[in-house]
Structure 1
Amino acid sequence: MLKRPKTNEYHPFFESYIRLVPDEGLLDILKKQQETTINLLRGISSEQAAYQYEAKKWNLKEVLGHMTDAERVLSSHVLVVARGDTPSFTPFDKDLYMTNADFSRLDFQDILSDFSIVRQCTSSLIACLSNDAWIRKGTVLNHPTTARALAYIIAGHELHHLAIIKERYLLKYSID
């Protein structure tokens, strides 16, 4: 079982994400999250997917697209670090990604399907890594960061956004 990263394995900014991840096998957690997210969002209508709980906040399509983009970026970081490369990663500009993604042109169910495919790829990567790979380090936010911490950040980032989705998007429609 992949153990929770120690606090010296990541920048303190990521503590809020990592703290959300239960103490279970990470691969099992990621698979359960995938099922939970898909089941929660599968019945979303076009109207619901376009809902913004506040002006200048992302709509549900954009939130799910962001979750998928972030997982793609973080998974690539996991791979690079796990393979022994020692890069220094800068944060991706989520607003630039959002501007250039144009999620509004996509059907919500297609975005959900894309999320599912990306999660399957992440799970496959995590299942294939050796024990030694997990403690290899790159640099994120100018802080030594292990592949293990990056994998936990992926899980925590989703949990963070699912809580927001439930609280600020789905309660308006009484879905959950």
Structure 2
Amino acid sequence: MRIIQPPQPGEYPPYAIMYMKLLPTDGLILKHLQDNFDMVKELIYSLPENMLYHRYAPGKWSIKETLVHIIDDERIFAYRALSFARNEKNNLIGFDQDSYATYSDADNRALDNIFEEYKAVRRSTIALFNGLPDDAFDRMGHGTGTANDATVRALAYHIAGHELHHVNIIKDKYLERK
């Protein structure tokens, strides 16, 4: 897999530093995306089924809803990466993650079905970034307002860091500490 150097500050919105800090700086982000998928799948399948519906506080997502949120976010940010790589000049709209979670009906989906989608999206994301021309990674695109501008490279790292962020929440808030 290709090497994609980590983004520098200014290539991503300020809030995304929380994702960037979770990732190695070796440039092997596509390998990390694959390894992270395998790690998430192993972690989730090790849990008892009733844990998949647990909410650590009122109004918080279940683990199944969190998984579908990770998939939705990846699909949306991969689309942004494609748009920015192709030099889209229009600002791309954001999305209401809570509404997406509510209408995902994730708790009524089989875990195998969720991971089938997760795997397909992940393979597509890796293929997208693996196939982009080298000069595409430096292109800056625009979200809603300049506070959401990012380079294509930063979006690859956002996807991986966002996933790890939620894995950390699952480990810290849903699972018992030992």
C-alpha displacement of 1:141: 4.5
C-alpha displacement of 1:121: 0.9
TM-score between both structures, scaled by the size of structure 1: 0.91
1:115 to 118, 121, 129: 118
Q: How many pairs does the alignment contain?
A: 173
Counterpart for residue 145 of structure 1: 150
C-alpha displacement of 1:85: 1.3
Unaligned runs of 5+ in 2: none
Cα offsets for 1:137-172 (capped at 9, x unmatched): 211342332111111110110010010111112327
Q: Provide the secondary structure at the position in 1 that maps to 2:7.
A: coil
Counterpart for residue 4 of structure 1: 6
Structure 1 CA distance for aligned equivalents of residues 48 and 110 of structure 2: 10
1:49 to 28, 47, 52: 52
* Matched letter for residue 152 of structure 2: A
* Matched letter for residue 152 of structure 1: Y
Asked if 2 retains the 8 angstrom alpha-carbon contact of 1:81 and 1:138, the reply is yes
Q: Which moved more, 1:84-93 or 1:5-14?
A: 84-93
Q: Note the aligned Cα RMSD (angstroms).
A: 1.5
Structure 1 runs of 4+ aligned residues shifted over 4 Å read none
2:162 to 149, 157, 161: 157
Counterpart for residue 77 of structure 1: 80
Structure 2 CA distance for aligned equivalents of residues 140 and 15 of structure 1: 17
Q: Which moved more, 1:106-115 or 1:58-67?
A: 106-115
Asked if 2 retains the 8 angstrom alpha-carbon contact of 1:11 and 1:140, the reply is no
Cα offsets for 1:97-135 (capped at 9, x unmatched): 112211122112321222122111111111111110101
Asked if 1 retains the 8 angstrom alpha-carbon contact of 2:62 and 2:107, the reply is no
2:37 to 34, 37, 46: 34
Counterpart for residue 89 of structure 2: 86
